[in-house]
Structure 1
């Protein structure tokens, strides 16, 4: 055995010593456990596409709408439109009764006529007083008093005319309710005979709500704070509605509102989505189930996610740990080095058999550095963290993307770069259980991307135990 080989085995043994005691008890018990004969359902690696998403729900609403308010008080005389009617800008959609206004208009006209006559009379008086004043027959005081009276009469005339103009405007303009935009009537709050309050009141009556159009809809989605960093303006989103669950609609993120909201200590943010609605199937108020597309990959190696969750119950924990130790050895180790490492692994377990090791954390970390990161799947706890089935928050559907193993393997006890690896179990050429550690990528919960797994192509990967 060469010098370099001995060095590499020595490095492996350093780690073996750290974790060997961790599995003593399970090793001892494993010798007493007889393997149960089991049959399995198999799957294979395949090329495919995966879309990783964040899920949410939201409510459909119109993009733009206008509330039509009463601009004068009175009684509704006629209503010309109903729900869902299309209207044009300037179209008369209702009228307010003007009988009382017309009476007020006549009175206002009479007031104007009276004020006009008073003014005209005073104007003649001033003209006459001017002649007398110029000839010295009228004092300056009397003349200026006449001028002041003329100005007062003029002001009263202007006031009467303004009052008449206001009433005339109400009759000719405010009494006719018109649509301010082209659109569709979403709501009608009045009927003929309803009393309304004008905008001069403290609370003007809302008569109609008109949507600009329904060809484009808006969704206000609530996104959890854990996922909000994955959402950007312009991002694609797909959604379905309960009224037509078989149809998938598409939209794009318009904006992410930065003001946080909270409910029962859960923090979320509103994300606004714009979606086309030329089909007219989407209606205001519908509930949408939304998938924000985080990442899409095509022509990648995939495996059913259930295969990554499989752990053989027919093996003891010690047996599983030995197989996973072998699977986690650096791929560029020669077979001679691997055999030597496994031999020393077994010897360390035997030498530690009478003892109890309290350094579980230390042992796990030593093994994980050999296996490229993550806890050993099996007795020690869940498979490596951060993967699609490793306890991530519901909805995100994507594993953490992490770096490749350090290519420099001279120091096997050095810190490996963080990657997310999990085991895939299969039957070797002798029909015995074997495992391979693969790096996982994005997931849609049904399928997961795997890499460093080309050697498994064509092999039957264990999916689950077959139910007899």
Structure 2
């Protein structure tokens, strides 16, 4: 058996290896798998970046300018009151004997409402009449004394005249000087007595007038024991019953409360000092009450008080609103919330107040200038601040933003009154139907006012 040469076997293997060509690097399957995976990753990143840019694109919500009526109202709270309310009291002390009316009873002027016990008052009237009769008797006595004094005076004067005549006829021999002096003194005493009696008559007559005045006072008090209604109206409140004692003092006790006419009421509201400057008499007003929340009652401002009321460092002014209450659905004492129409504008352009507060901003995450996959991977510079138009500093000048070719454009306007939701605007370029931006959002997010 012939053995093979080992060296010859090695040479043959080398020749076979040299004859077989080497595999190229780009034919490696792993390389192409890795490149395909990288391409898919970049494509996914591009799609994600495009989606983010689409969601970050600004979306503007607009509302068109429209014409309408706008009113500035002043809101205030108050209480309904009768136009005229009267508190009925008693000037006299005593015991209530009879009460003729009750709550809600209609009354007429002069009608007796209640009566006090009159026994003591009647005794005073009888005493006054007796005192008047006594005073009149004193006048009669004084007048009789005056007549007596007049007769005595005439007698003394006649005696003096006779003596003077005798003296003349006798040539001054008779009567004596003493007799003449006595006659003169008697005449003077008679004159003084007459004057004194005249004074007594006047004094007695004055006593009669005083007694008559006292009697009249007692009779007046007796009449006041029957308390009568001073007005036509209705009884609102009653705080007395038969048998109650009434003690009159410096301030009369309120026994009954009357209202003149409940078909006419007044709503007295407290207007804040910040709003009182636009409130004046004659302005229309509406109000609601808790008993009928779905109904709005109409009224008109009749008076605005100059005097202020301060409570807890809040200054208010009482404003009176005249109210018609023909169906008697409103009652005194009800609490009401009133809206006074201070200023009203008709057929004016109105803009939502959100448009006056709106300010556009660059959306976060937006690409500064387009780009692509590479641009999305590169670091970005900070976004530039939004360009804001200069606002006129004059009062009443504001700025709104309108949408033109998909971009926000500032527009300066002059503002008027506002009701808290809409504002009157005017100015160059402000026309009906103009699209005004009220909020800004993103395609995939909520709007920003």
Q: TM-score, with normalisation over the residues of structure 2?
A: 0.64
Residue of structure 2 in register with 1:445 after alignment: 420
Name the structure 2 match of 1:422. 400
C-alpha separation in 1, matches of 2:366 and 2:216: 98
Q: 1:435 to 1:266 in 2, by over 3 A?
A: farther
Distance in 2, matches of 1:143 and 1:154, equals 16
Unaligned stretches of 5+ residues in structure 1: 1-32, 320-352, 357-362, 375-384, 386-399, 403-418
Q: Does 1:170 align with 2:221?
A: yes
1:297-312 equivalences under 5 Å are 297-306=345-354
Match of 2:208 in 1: 157
**Conserved 8 A contact 1:57-1:288:** yes
| 2:265 maps to 1:217 | yes
Asked if structure 2 preserves the Cα contact closer than 8 Å seen for 1:441 and 1:449, the reply is yes
Offset at residue 80 of structure 1 (A) = 1.6
Which residue, 355, 369, 373 being the options, matches 2:392?
A: 373
- Specify the alignment match of 1:287 in structure 2: 335
The alignment status of 1:234 with 2:282, answered yes or no, reads yes
Q: Is the 2:58–2:440 Cα contact (8 Å) retained in structure 1?
A: no
**Which one is further off, 70-79 or 134-143?**
134-143
Query: How many positions carry a matched residue from both structures?
Result: 345
Residue 246 of structure 2 is aligned with which of 189, 196, 218?
A: 196
Higher strand share: 2
Secondary structure of 1:246's counterpart equals: strand
The alignment status of 1:117 with 2:117, answered yes or no, reads no
The answer to whether the 8 A contact 1:441-1:448 is kept is: yes
The range that moved more, 74-83 or 447-456, is 447-456
- Structure 2: runs of 5 or more not aligned: 1-51, 160-185, 368-380
Given that 2:66 and 2:432 are in contact with CA atoms closer than 8 Å, whether structure 1 keeps it comes out as no
Q: Partners of 1:292 and 1:318 in 2: how far apart?
A: 50
d(CA) in 2 for partners of 1:255, 1:108: 50
Cα deviations by residue, 1:263-308 (Å, 9 ceiling, x for unpaired): 4444333323222222322322222222222332334444544555
Shift of 1:167: 1.4
Q: Is contact 1:197–1:203 with CA below 8 Å preserved after alignment?
A: no
SS of 1:420's equivalent? strand
User: Matched residues in 2 for 1:306 and 1:297: separation?
Assistant: 20
Task: String of CA shifts for 1:20-62, please: whole Å, max 9, x gaps.
Answer: xxxxxxxxxxxxx955478887754444332222222222222
Q: What is the CA–CA distance in structure 1 between the aligned matches of 2:431 and 2:199, rounded to whole Å?
A: 106
Write out aligned runs for 1:4-153 (5 A): 35-36=55-56, 43-136=63-156, 139-140=189-190, 141-153=192-204
Change (3 A) 1:166 1:260: closer
Give the number of the structure whose alpha-carbon radius of gyration is greater. Answer: 2
Alpha carbons of structure 1 residues 224 and 423: separation in structure 2 relative to 1, 3 Å: farther
Following superposition, the deviation at residue 100 of structure 1 comes to 1.0
Shift of 1:453: 4.4
Structure 1 pair 129–227 and aligned structure 2 pair: CA distance change class (3 A) = closer
Is 1:306–1:464's contact at 8 Å kept on the other side of the alignment? Answer: no
CA RMSD, aligned part only? 4.0
Deviations 1:129-188 (A, max 9, x none): 4334422398525554444444443333333232222212322x3222112222222333
- Distance 1:142-1:309 versus aligned 2 partners, 3 A rule: closer
**2:304 — aligned with what?**
256
